[in-house]
Each structure stands twice: as structure tokens, then as C-alpha cells.
Amino acid sequence: MSSSKPTPLQHTLERSAFCRLIQRGELDVVVITHPAFRAEVLLQGAQMIAFAPTGESNWLWLSDTVEYKKGISLRGGIPICWPWFGNACKNPPEIQAHYCGNQPAPAHGFARTQIWQLTDLYEATDRVELCMALGTTRSRQPSWPAETEVIARWVMRKDSLTVQLTTHNHGQSAIAVTQALHTYLPTPDIHQTRLAGLHHHSYLDTLDNWRRKSQSGDVHFYSETDRIYYTDSNAHHLTLITPDQRTLINASGSKSCIVWNPWIEKSRHLGQFEDTAWQRMTCVETANAADDWINIEPGNTHTLSVTFHQDR
């Protein structure tokens, strides 16, 4: 009996010096083991779930109770929310107009549960660059028939991680999207954690009837937090300060970010989430959300990008 032909993905990874494909549960995982760092990215959702310079712990938070199942986004890492963020019905009319499904629109879009294709891999002594793509057409996504391609790109170095999400509009009409790099970050104690860089910025408090408020000082965590912050320009710089480290978050192509922690009560109702996990994580999400929605004309692109550094 003849064996099946290797896929392009298998050919690429067979030639790789640092990358290999493994299966964990029902999902395929690209594992990157470089002398300077280690990382893991799922083909489902193009979701990075681990990045750690050699000798360091994971820069990303991942739940201890995650389930590697098809069609279910893992709780942790960096899920990709695209082509809308949050509940579609809470998005601007321009976003809602693109959805034409008969069923309720899935939260955070459909990209995070689709299988992406590895399209490019570059390896060097100082870095690894990995790209995955997801194409959409009417036959692939009948509920969102725009002719688009979205590409996720990671640049991994010993002291930094860059994540980029680029949307290409290959259609004949403009498209509107909201999106987020839904980053989960660890902390040993949420009570001693704060986010700097949003002083005097306005935000929507989704827990208070979406009222617009103004931030005074750093963001501290005293209760459930779910806010969409607006920044002054397409490039902003935040610092997440925990008892053991400072994470520098430099974003571009974004005038908004989401800060989220479920706290005590909501944690009891979340999947893949221990009741006490809220004490050890928070989300700081680079985004184009709410009023910061993106219009992409035919033939044009938009790139959302974030780079993480740590200052211990």
C-alpha cells in the first residue's frame, strides 16, 4: 500500500531546523524550539499559546484546564478575534451589515476556530518568523462572503515577540472589520497588578451600560473589569506592571485596546477556567474595536500589530 503524499506543511516543517508539528488532543500544534526561545502556535485559529525565552517562564497565560478540541478556542495565549470583536450585535452597523448568516453570529468572529494554513517560515540564529493565512470566499464562509485574506505573522526573538494581523481586501467593494489580538498575560497577584499608559484616555465601560468614562492614573484591578479604551493615535505604548516583572506593550494600527479580568463571580461560569484563575491573569488586547472599526477599500490592506518586551 502506498503512503499518502506529504502536505506542503509537512514538507516545510521537515526542512525546518527549529519547528515541528505535533498533535495535542484533537489539534495540531507547531512547536518552535530555538536556542534562544520556545513557542507554540495552533493551526486552529492561528493561536499562539506559548512564548518563552530560554530559561524563562511563558510570557503568555494559558489556563491549566484548556481543552484541545476542534471548534473550541483555547482559554489563554493570543486568540485572534476577526472579522468582528465581541458580540456582533454590539458592533457598529457597518460591521453587522457584512454578516448574513441564519444563525446567531459567533462571539469574536469565526477566525479563531478555523484551520489556518502555514504560508511562510524564516529561520535564523537570532529569530524565527512564522506566517499563517486564512482565506474567505462565499463558498468558504457563506455567512460573511467578503473576498478577503487575513495573515497572522509572528516574529520571535530572545527578548521580544511581535504579532501582526494583516487583512487584505481582494473584493470589489469596501469591507468593515473590528478585531483584536486577545492577549492573556500572567501575574502572580492581580491585586498587585496595574496597567500604565492610559491616564486621561476615555473608555467604554461595558459593565456599566457601555458608559463613556475617563481614566485617572493607572488601571488597577479591584473587581470585574471589561473596558474598551481609546488611544490618541495609531501607535500606543502600555506597561503591565506585576510583582515580578514589567511587560512593555507597543501597538500600531490600533486606536483602541481592551482590558479584561472576569473576577470572582464570572469566573465560575467560564469554560476552561478554574474558579480562582482570575487572580493570576489579565487580558490587555490590542484592537480595532467599537468606534475604532476599520474600513478597507478594494485592493487595500490593514495591519494590526503588537510587540512585547519584558523588563524584570
- 241-260 pLDDT, tens digit per residue, is 999 999 999 999 999 999 99
Tell me the percentage of the chain whose pLDDT exceeds 90: 87
Q: In this model, does residue 57 exceed pLDDT 90?
A: yes
Q: How confident is the model at residue 1, as a pLDDT?
A: 38
Mean pLDDT, residues 57-74 taken together: 97
What contacts 144, CB < 8 A, 6 or more positions away?
83, 98, 99, 100, 101, 110, 136
* pLDDT confidence tier of residue 3, bands split at 50, 70 and 90: very low
Mean pLDDT for the chain overall: 94
Largest CA distance in the chain: 69
Q: In this model, does residue 4 exceed pLDDT 70?
A: no
Give the separation between CA 170 and CA 163, rounded to whole angstroms: 22
Q: How confident is the model at residue 5, as a pLDDT?
A: 56
Q: In this model, does residue 120 exceed pLDDT 80?
A: yes
What contacts 4, CB < 8 A, 6 or more positions away?
none
DSSP-derived 3-state class of residue 265: helix
Q: Which grid coordinates belong to 194?
A: 496595574
Q: In this model, does residue 171 exceed pLDDT 50?
A: yes
Residue-wise pLDDT tens digits, 279-293: 999 999 999 999 999
Contact 132, 152 (CB under 8 A): yes
What contacts 261, CB < 8 A, 6 or more positions away?
190, 221, 224, 225, 278, 281, 282, 283
Q: How confident is the model at residue 218, as a pLDDT?
A: 98
Residue-wise pLDDT tens digits, 76-87: 999 999 999 999
Ramachandran region, residue 190 (left: φ > 0; alpha: ψ -120 to 50; beta: rest): alpha
Give the separation between CA 147 and CA 251, rounded to whole angstroms: 27
Q: In this model, does residue 139 exceed pLDDT 80?
A: no
Q: In this model, does residue 271 exceed pLDDT 80?
A: yes
Q: In this model, does residue 190 exceed pLDDT 50?
A: yes
* pLDDT confidence tier of residue 148, bands split at 50, 70 and 90: very high
Q: In this model, does residue 140 exceed pLDDT 90?
A: no
- Bond prior to 106 in cis (omega within 30° of 0): no
Mean pLDDT, residues 150-165 taken together: 98
Of 139 and 205, more confident: 205
How many CA atoms, within 13 angstroms, populate the side-chain half-sphere of residue 171? 19
Mean pLDDT, residues 89-98 taken together: 91
This prediction has a pTM of 0.96
Q: How confident is the model at residue 14, as a pLDDT?
A: 83
Q: In this model, does residue 302 exceed pLDDT 90?
A: yes
Residue-wise pLDDT tens digits, 192-210: 999 999 999 999 999 999 9
Mean pLDDT, residues 210-221 taken together: 98
DSSP-derived 3-state class of residue 96: helix
* pLDDT confidence tier of residue 101, bands split at 50, 70 and 90: confident
Main-chain dihedrals φ then ψ at residue 220, nearest 5 degrees: -110, 165
Reduced 3-state DSSP string for 160-179:
EEEEEEEEEECCCCCEEECE
Q: How confident is the model at residue 2, as a pLDDT?
A: 40
Structural domains in the chain? 25-311 (2.70.98.10)
